[in-house]
Amino acid sequence: MGMVLLIVIGVIALLWVVSAYNGLIALKNQTFNAWKQMDVQLKRRHDLIPNLVSTVKGSMEFEKETLDAVISARSRAMQGGGVKETAAGGCWAAGAGRRAAPALS
C-alpha cells in the first residue's frame, strides 16, 4: 500500500512538472509573439511617415497659394482708384476666400 501511494504521488508530481513546463513555454511563446507584433506595428508606422510628410507638404503648398491669392486680392482692392476697381478686387478676394473655405472645414 505504501509503494502504490508513493507511485501515485510520483505520477502526480511528474504531471505537475510537465504541466508547469508547458505553461512556461506557452508564456515564453506569447511574449515572443507580442514583441514580434510590436515590431510589425512599428515598421508600419515607420513606413507611413513618408506619406504623412508628403501630405503635409501638399497641404502647405495649398495654404501658401491661398494666402498669396488673398494677399494679392487685398492689395488690389486697396490700390483700386475708384469704386469699380475696389469692387472688382473685393470680388476676387471673395473668390480666394471661397477657395480657402474647404481647407478650413
- Tell me the pLDDT tens digit for each residue of 13-63: 999 999 999 999 999 999 999 999 999 999 999 999 988 888 898 899 889
In angstroms, the CA 19 to CA 25 distance is 10
DSSP H or E segment with residue 41 = helix 2-79
Model confidence at 105, pLDDT cuts 50, 70, 90, reads: very low
User: What's the pLDDT at 96?
Assistant: 53
- What mean pLDDT is reported for the chain? 83
Q: Alpha-carbon distance 87 to 74, whole Å?
A: 11
Break the chain into its structural domains and give their ranges. Answer: 81-105
Stated pTM of the model: 0.45
